[in-house]
Structure 1
Amino acid sequence: MEKEERIFIRIQKSRKENWKKLCSKKRISLSSLIINSVENRIFNDERRMVMAFIEKQGNVFIKIETNINQVARIVNGQKFISEKLLEDFSNTLSEIEKLKKEQNMIFSRIYSILGK
């Protein structure tokens, strides 16, 4: 493991206080703010927001899948589904499949950004 070095910089006291307020609001350290800004990396607070978004998206699709299973259970119990209802259900499933593929592409891009 590489030994850490210190860098001393001179800035106005008011600027330092503004940076510290920003860090406090973002719940990150001043070192993290400076290093990630210089290296053009994503901040930890942004990473947390992205992960929360991903988790929320997963929950949305779980609810959709549950609803699909409920419809299937009803149809299996009745042993009948109207032509119109079947067509609507198929269209909905196709739309969900498209959205899921799009979501996965977005997640792939997000993960590549998070990895930096």
Structure 2
Amino acid sequence: MKNREKEERIFIRIQKHRKESWKKLCSQKRISLSSLIIDSVESRIFDDERRKILAFIEKQDNIFVKIETNINQVAKIVNAQKFMNVEALKGFNEKLKTITELKEQQNKVFTKIYYLIAKNC
């Protein structure tokens, strides 16, 4: 919910080329000039960076969903055959171990990201 306080205007003087440069940066980042200035002054994460972070999190989640689907497919095949050779089992266990380690690292990164986002809201 937006803050219902009356907004104030601040007028600043900058060179025209600097203003154009800032506007170009805002256009590239798809943020407003006000957002650029306020977030910079308050050391907050820019809206475009927040969007990139959320897209990254969604992409990571999709990758792990695909991996989990593959694991389920392997389990279905093994259950149907009632057999899995030792080499395939070792390889499968190594991949599961790697996935578990990656998931733990991802969760640590996500915890830090959420902390930074929450701190900047």
Q: Tell me the TM-score normalised to structure 2 length.
A: 0.92
Q: 1:19 aligns with which of 14, 19, 22?
A: 22
Distance 1:106 1:81 in 2: 35
Q: Which residue of 1 aligns with 2:52?
A: 49
Q: Which residue of 2 aligns with 1:104?
A: 107
Q: Give runs of aligned pairs for residues 1-116 of structure 1, distance below 5 A.
A: 1-115=4-118, 116=120
> Offset of 1:85 from its aligned partner?
1.2
Provide the alpha-carbon RMSD of the alignment: 0.9
**Matched residue type, 2:43:** N
- How many aligned positions are there? 116
Distance 2:7 2:115 in 1: 27
Shift >3 Å, 4+ stretches: none
Structure 2 unaligned spans of 5+: none
- SS of the counterpart of 1:108? helix
Percent of paired sites with the same residue: 66
> Offset of 1:45 from its aligned partner?
0.6
